């Protein structure tokens, strides 16, 4: 019983520290937006290509994807880990 109470206290203390540090913190959000920015731009390019019938935009988006894959070979993993950090891995663990 004491071990579970100590664990709960530790979790509560950690959440308090995170809440206090998150009030003025913008770095996490900046990193999340910076990592997801190419995906957002690619989505918009493909959407506009379909909307306006401009296949050259879709071709440019395809080339941009290739360029990102060459520049950052593990871009998919990077997005995964940044997303986990943004939503909190602890939230995922509580569902398992």
> Which residues contact residue 49 at a Cβ distance below 8 angstroms, ignoring those fewer than 6 apart?
55, 56, 57, 58, 61
Q: Which domain holds residue 84?
A: 26-95
- Is the Cα dihedral 82, 88, 91, 96 positive or negative? positive
Judge whether 60 lies within some domain: yes
Q: Give mean pLDDT, residues 63-82.
A: 90
Q: Is residue 69 pLDDT above 80, yes or no?
A: yes
Judge whether 90 lies within some domain: yes
**pLDDT-wise least confident of 14-18, 42-46, 59-63, 91-95:** 91-95
Report the alpha-carbon distance of residue 5 to residue 31 in Å, rounded.
Answer: 35
Judge whether 82 lies within some domain: yes
Q: pTM for the complete prediction?
A: 0.61
Q: How many domains does the chain have?
A: 1
Judge whether 2 lies within some domain: no
Judge whether 42 lies within some domain: yes
Judge whether 33 lies within some domain: yes
Judge whether 10 lies within some domain: no
């Amino acid at each position: 019983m004491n071990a579970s109470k100590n664990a709960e206290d530790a979790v509560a203390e950690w959440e308090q520290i995170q809440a206090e540090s998150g009030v003025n913190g913008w770095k996490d959000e900046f990193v999340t937006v910076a990592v997801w920015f190419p995906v957002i731009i690619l989505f918009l390019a493909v959407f506009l290509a379909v909307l306006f019938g401009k296949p050259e935009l879709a071709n440019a988006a395809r080339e941009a994807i290739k360029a990102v894959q060459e520049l950052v070979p593990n871009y998919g993993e990077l997005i995964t880990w940044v997303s986990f950090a943004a939503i909190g891995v602890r939230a995922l663990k509580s569902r398992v």
